[in-house]
Amino acid sequence: MSRFRFAALALLLSVAFAWALPANAQHEITGALPKPAGDFRAKPIVVVAGATGRTGRQLIAQLAKDERYSLRSLARDAAKAKRELGGEYNWVAADVTQPDSLLTPLRGATYVIVAIGATERSGPNSPEFVDYGGVRHLVDAAKRGGVQQLTLISSIGVEGEGGFTRWILNLVGGDVLVWKKKGERYLRASGIGYTILRPGGLSDEAGGKVGLAFDQDPDAFGRITRADTATVAIATLGNAAALGKSFNAIADESAARDAWRGKFPALKRDR
């Protein structure tokens, strides 16, 4: 074959080859991939335990609008939750007093936010079995399911000793702070990535209206809205500066509204 014919054939073949390649592969060769039409990367799954509760509802409302995450909402009665709160929250049935019911809902999740709370002072759904036993079961299932971080909504006052408010809360609430403290300890010792958020007295006013303060004083007191509690809990997810830390969160009228977002690094790690 003459040199001219060889060059013409090579040119023809390279044009035909390039034409036959799919558009993406062409760009791969030049290193300039077009952005895919959809986002095919899987989003991290956030499981909310206690999603039907008053703080839980704030969590799922905020998470459902948050494009960074996929949401799984746990409810003892998933059909009722769907009917009453809406179908957009990906409801899954689970009871934290029944450890086996948690295995499938937590499998493959990246984050878990726990907003459960006992519904009775004594009996099978009291603090011993929900705020302690339930947390234990959630932690165990999270470990088995490969969860990276569990954020526990606990309570201000859990860590301190004595005091009238603490005494009253334990008296009327079936030793709720005592059992919450045991739940916290179990989580801390579990080896899983965690954050323990201890909100002050919860209220149902709108969130985002005032500044917030974080501290690690065992005897601190204060109040915070459930909406702000949910926002802080979500801000701990994947936040290295919140990992391995336990802290109180309360409203602080004197603080700038979003200043709390930069306050995680100043908190001490638990150990």
* CA atoms in the 13 A half-sphere facing the CB of 197: 32
| DSSP state letter for 266 | G
Q: Provide the b/e sequence for 38-56 (b: ≥16 CB within 10 Å).
A: eeeeeebbbbbbbbbbbbb
Alpha carbons 80 and 85: distance in angstroms, whole number: 8
Provide, rounded to whole angstroms, the least separation between the CB of residue 61 and ligand NAP: 13
Provide, rounded to whole angstroms, the least separation between the CB of residue 223 and ligand NAP: 8
Provide, rounded to whole angstroms, the least separation between the CB of residue 140 and ligand NAP: 15
* Among 14, 119, 146, 258, contact with ligand NAP (rule: CB under 6 A): 119
- Closest CB to ligand NAP among 233 and 242? 233
When asked if residue 52 is in the footprint of ligand NAP (CB under 6 A), the reply is yes
CA 83 from chain centre, in angstroms, equals 23
CA proximity to 158, closest of 178, 174, 133, 173: 178
* Among 166, 182, 226, 245, contact with ligand NAP (rule: CB under 6 A): 226
- Closest CB to ligand NAP among 21 and 86? 86
* Among 155, 225, 246, 248, contact with ligand NAP (rule: CB under 6 A): 155
Interacting residue ranges for ligand NAP, rule: CB under 6 A = 50, 52-56, 75-76, 95-97, 115-117, 119, 125, 130, 134, 153, 155-156, 199, 201-202, 226
